[in-house]
Structure 1
Amino acid sequence: MLHPDAVRELSGTAGFLLRKAAVFLATLMLCSAAAASPAVVVIPLNGAVGPASADFVVRALSRAAEEHAQLAVLEIDTPGGLDPSMRSIIKAILSSPVPVAAFIAPGGARAASAGTYIVYASHIAAMAPGTNLGAATPIRISAGGSTEPSSAEPGQAKKDAGASASSAPSTASTETTKQVQDAAAYIRGLAQLRGRNAQWGERAVREAVSLSASEALAQNVIDLNASDVPELLTKLNGRHVRTITGDHVLATSGAAVETILPDWRSRFLATITDPSVALILITIGMYGLFFEFANPGLALPGVAGAISLMLGLFALQLLPVDFAGLGLILLGIAFLVAEMFLPTFGTLGFGGIVAFAIGALMLFRTDVPGYGIPVSLVIGLTLATALFVFVVSSIALRARRRPVVSGAEAMLGSIGEMLEDMPPSDSGWARVHGERWRVCCHEAPALLARGERVRVLGRHGLMLTVARLDEVKQGEK
């Protein structure tokens, strides 16, 4: 039998080993759970919302669904953007099987205009300290250049209905009123879908109000505040979220984080859909084709012009283009080209410059930040176009003034040498431009001797009419 002290020692050793094994198994299980936990995808949305950013976000959400991510964090910092692009992103969020958390970050970022709608559409809304949200009034340049949305509440509109009937017409156009009403209904529907403050959402549309991060949380516009993505994931751990595929319980504490960055396609689209770049591409394309048509066979101007024009037209069909502005640009270029061939003494050229400048300013129908054409670029392109026309016109004018060096007209006035004696009213042979020609001289009073120099006065088929060179000089005197 074992001594009791030995039994106690063995029992203590076994308990220690059991505790060690339990700790090891628990650690192993935690590591396995962490490895098996779906990743969190971070999708940055920076700058103006446009066709390129919408394409990037839609494809990133589709990728998150394919990878079975448990959460997609849309990190937002935008001044607004185009309505069609915004609605594409919202449709992708509403149809996403992966929960989407709109996170306005980092500090100093904003989700204005289109960004507000995207935040309201997301399953979870969060803001970092020092950020702001709001100013969601739809913006469009009217004929007079004003953008005055109707900010009156429905009750106030009914109250003032009688007075407005007898007063001057409202400055807000019917079209603007329709846009504001549609935007208000849209954000109200999103607020009701996500259980957020619908009243403030309407105010953001009608009155262009904004909120800070703490104010947005207090007024039930967002769900929580977080300083960065790790803190956001910690606070979201265990939260229940409902998507189109059902309820989800987030396990984001310690989950792997993957950031999806824009690829070459998104960067390329972002470049060519910049309104300034699109205008430059259209201009280069028109002048490249003009050079090719004016000088067939050069190839390079035609190829570069065709590619630039196609890229420019592709960008224009993605952007809100005013076709009156595009027509003025094309008309201006046509006038400038016509100035090279018609003697209008600058009338067509000046009209073309004016039409081009006005068309460039009118080309896009929105003043959303990032989607307008700087006046400095319009001035620069106009001056470059005028300089181009001036240089090409000067070259063409000098070319017209050069003497003809080929064809029948090139023979007129040429100097030749008689190869044989030629009596009056007869024909003979002479050397002109290094070639033997049959010549005649009906007005020569005397014999044209061999070696005598003559000037060509006309050509009839293969027969040249000549005169003695000294007689021609005397006639010129």
Structure 2
Amino acid sequence: MHTVRRGLYALLLGAALALAGDEAAGPTPYITAVRLEGMVDDGMTVLVTRALREVADSKAIVFIVDTPGGRVDSAIQIVDAIVDAPCKTIAFVDGMGAISAGALISYACDEIVMSPSTNMGAAQPVTIGSDGMEPLGEKETSFVRAKFAALAEMKGRNPDIAMAMVDKDIELRAYQNPDGTLDIRAVNRPAELTGEEAVKELIDDPGKVVKQVIETIIGEELPIPEPKESQNSEAAPVEQTAPDTQPTQPDDGIVIEPAGKLLTLTPQEAKKYGVIKYIAKDMDDLMWQLGYTNTAVVNVTPTWSEDLYKWLISPEITLVLLVLGIGGLYLEFKTPGFGMPGIVGICALAIYFGSRSVVGLADWLDIALVITGVILLLVEIFLIPGFGIVGALGIVFVLAGIVFSFTFTDFSLPQYSWEWDRLEDAGFALTMTMICMVVLVVATWKLLPRSPLYRRLVLADQQLPTDGYSVQTPDEAESTIGQVGVASSMLRPAGRGRFGDKTFQVVSLNEFIEEGTPIVIVQAEGNRYVVDRLKKPA
């Protein structure tokens, strides 16, 4: 018996020591994996933002990039979130590759790894035109090109290669370094100076800057004038300095991407040109090459709520929610009391703004504008006769709140085409909503009263005086004027009055009248009797 007990104690002690050892060793190391698949959109932004919030203890986060591109503004939001990540970020280009916005997301990561059958690049911003995909203007191209260059410099990559993915006018050439490595340079783009560098050059050599401006305007290179010799002294010999960059003559270097084509890199090319260091077959191979062999992988996938939000902000569902929201409130204003139309309208607008606030489109300002607009409309309808400035402001506030809920920037004017696209989406949704509202109004007040459903919901029978339904005739009402009685209750101003053997519901003319006060009927309309105090004769 003692032997069994000692064995049990030893077993419990061993388990306790094992648990203590695990706690002392700390939590199990892990990396986070997030698959970015399909079009880059607002739903992907929500997924990346949530994943980055949950990686506080992760050694690294791997974004499995498998996308043909998508919305530029959504990609920029994803890039900004990745740059501020609290751990190492890795882009694993897999599947169809990292094209367009996918390449931009990949360049934001600390490390890029590609699988053998993928590619990366072709990131010129485009739009859907009458002839299919059409490139955007120079303003948008310049913005994306500079974004690629800035990310490349931040992560220690060649910015010229990054810009060649965006601008097809850039030609890339390879130069052999003494150590055998390749130096890739863009040979046909003007030097891009920062603001500080441009000011310094303008101060140091204004003539050079003016010359460059004139050459840009006329499209020709101006001759350099020979310096005049001084009459008092011989001209000092000019010291020839080596240029900062290698010559860029047409026959200099090896052309790896001619002008007129967007750069798209295969894994071998990306590794050869120094864009990536590793090519991995799958996640296991990637983890082995990066030194995460004994590290667990925690996959972050879209939740059902994120899929629901993505569905709710689709153009079709957005239109349905706006029609139900505005239409429900309209019907509620037109009917007495508070009922089902008001509940449906409020719920539809709550779902509309709630889903957009999750993806970052709508904020409290947009919601506050709509609530303020509805309040102003209620004031105009119930407190102020007619329709004036208050009602107009209410409509403006409601429309502004809805329009702002389509954009990431509320009060700043759009600068790029993708920002205008957001406003076009808002305009289309509002236009379709107004068309549906007109149809709803016509159906509600013109067609619905003639339908069997309306007769089931609304009492259609009317008891008209011409048919004999009357409280009393005008002569009978006229005959009651002048009758004297007593207030049988306090008139505030409504109450009861006793006239002989009859009790009427009466309303005082000017003031409250105490119970028991003699009164006289001064007006009678139907069953409405207006009374006043009975004045004593002088």
The answer to whether the Cα contact below 8 Å between 1:51 and 1:318 also exists between their aligned partners in 2 is no
Q: Which residue of the other structure, out of 113, 119, 122, is the alignment partner of 1:132?
A: 119
Residue 43 (structure 1) aligned with residue 29 (structure 2): no
The aligned counterpart of 2:134 is 148
Q: Which residue of the other structure, out of 136, 146, 156, is the alignment partner of 1:195?
A: 156
Change (3 A) 1:184 1:84: same
The aligned counterpart of 2:462 is 406
The aligned counterpart of 2:281 is 227
SS of the aligned residue for 1:130 comes to coil
The answer to whether the Cα contact below 8 Å between 1:101 and 1:122 also exists between their aligned partners in 2 is yes
| Residue type of the alignment partner of 2:315 | P
Shift of 1:179: 0.8
The answer to whether the Cα contact below 8 Å between 1:149 and 1:206 also exists between their aligned partners in 2 is no
Change (3 A) 1:211 1:396: farther
C-alpha distance in 2 between matches for 1:233 and 1:190? 24
SS of the aligned residue for 1:205 comes to coil
C-alpha distance in 2 between matches for 1:209 and 1:227? 23
Q: TM-score, normalised by structure 1?
A: 0.53
C-alpha distance in 1 between matches for 2:99 and 2:89? 19
The answer to whether the Cα contact below 8 Å between 1:42 and 1:257 also exists between their aligned partners in 2 is yes
Change (3 A) 1:337 1:278: closer
Residue 113 (structure 1) aligned with residue 100 (structure 2): yes
Shift of 1:182: 0.7
The answer to whether the Cα contact below 8 Å between 2:36 and 2:64 also exists between their aligned partners in 1 is yes
| Residue type of the alignment partner of 2:165 | A
Shift of 1:287: 3.6
Shift of 1:121: 1.1
Matches within 5 A, 1:12-411: 38-64=29-55, 66-67=56-57, 69-105=58-94, 108-140=95-127, 148-149=134-135, 176-207=137-168, 208-237=262-291, 252-296=292-336, 299-313=339-353, 315=356, 317-318=405-406, 320-322=422-424, 323-340=426-443, 392=448, 394-395=450-451, 405-408=461-464, 411=466
Change (3 A) 1:118 1:404: closer
Shift of 1:297: 5.2
Q: TM-score, normalised by structure 2?
A: 0.48
| Residue type of the alignment partner of 2:467 | L
The answer to whether the Cα contact below 8 Å between 1:279 and 1:312 also exists between their aligned partners in 2 is no
C-alpha distance in 2 between matches for 1:267 and 1:397? 37
Shift of 1:33: 11
C-alpha distance in 2 between matches for 1:61 and 1:86? 15
Shift of 1:102: 0.6
Deviations 1:411-460 (A, max 9, x none): 5389xxxxxxxxxxxxxxxxxxxxxxxxxxxxxxxxxxxxxxxxxxxxx9
C-alpha distance in 2 between matches for 1:149 and 1:178? 11
Change (3 A) 1:342 1:283: closer
C-alpha distance in 2 between matches for 1:36 and 1:327? 52
The answer to whether the Cα contact below 8 Å between 2:319 and 2:429 also exists between their aligned partners in 1 is no
The answer to whether the Cα contact below 8 Å between 1:51 and 1:269 also exists between their aligned partners in 2 is no
The answer to whether the Cα contact below 8 Å between 2:33 and 2:299 also exists between their aligned partners in 1 is yes
| Residue type of the alignment partner of 1:324 | G
| Residue type of the alignment partner of 1:182 | F
The answer to whether the Cα contact below 8 Å between 2:327 and 2:437 also exists between their aligned partners in 1 is no
| Residue type of the alignment partner of 1:214 | Q
C-alpha distance in 1 between matches for 2:83 and 2:273? 23
The answer to whether the Cα contact below 8 Å between 2:327 and 2:440 also exists between their aligned partners in 1 is no
C-alpha distance in 1 between matches for 2:337 and 2:97? 53
C-alpha distance in 2 between matches for 1:294 and 1:32? 67
Change (3 A) 1:304 1:213: farther
How many residue pairs were aligned?
A: 294
| Residue type of the alignment partner of 1:333 | C
Shift of 1:180: 0.7
- Determine what percentage of the aligned residue pairs are the same residue: 28
C-alpha distance in 2 between matches for 1:52 and 1:81? 11
C-alpha distance in 1 between matches for 2:23 and 2:276? 34
SS of the aligned residue for 1:206 comes to coil
| Residue type of the alignment partner of 1:45 | L
C-alpha distance in 2 between matches for 1:393 and 1:81? 48
C-alpha distance in 2 between matches for 1:398 and 1:272? 32
- Structure 2 gap segments, 5+ residues each: 1-21, 169-261, 362-404, 408-421, 470-524, 528-538
- Structure 1 gap segments, 5+ residues each: 1-30, 151-175, 238-251, 344-389, 415-459, 463-477
Shift of 1:254: 1.7
The answer to whether the Cα contact below 8 Å between 2:39 and 2:69 also exists between their aligned partners in 1 is yes
Change (3 A) 1:313 1:257: closer
The answer to whether the Cα contact below 8 Å between 1:41 and 1:257 also exists between their aligned partners in 2 is yes
| Residue type of the alignment partner of 1:85 | S
C-alpha distance in 2 between matches for 1:227 and 1:299? 61
The answer to whether the Cα contact below 8 Å between 1:281 and 1:312 also exists between their aligned partners in 2 is yes
C-alpha distance in 1 between matches for 2:80 and 2:459? 69
The answer to whether the Cα contact below 8 Å between 1:49 and 1:86 also exists between their aligned partners in 2 is yes
| Residue type of the alignment partner of 2:145 | A
Shift of 1:234: 0.6
The answer to whether the Cα contact below 8 Å between 2:322 and 2:433 also exists between their aligned partners in 1 is no
SS of the aligned residue for 2:451 comes to helix
The answer to whether the Cα contact below 8 Å between 1:103 and 1:127 also exists between their aligned partners in 2 is yes
| Residue type of the alignment partner of 1:233 | M
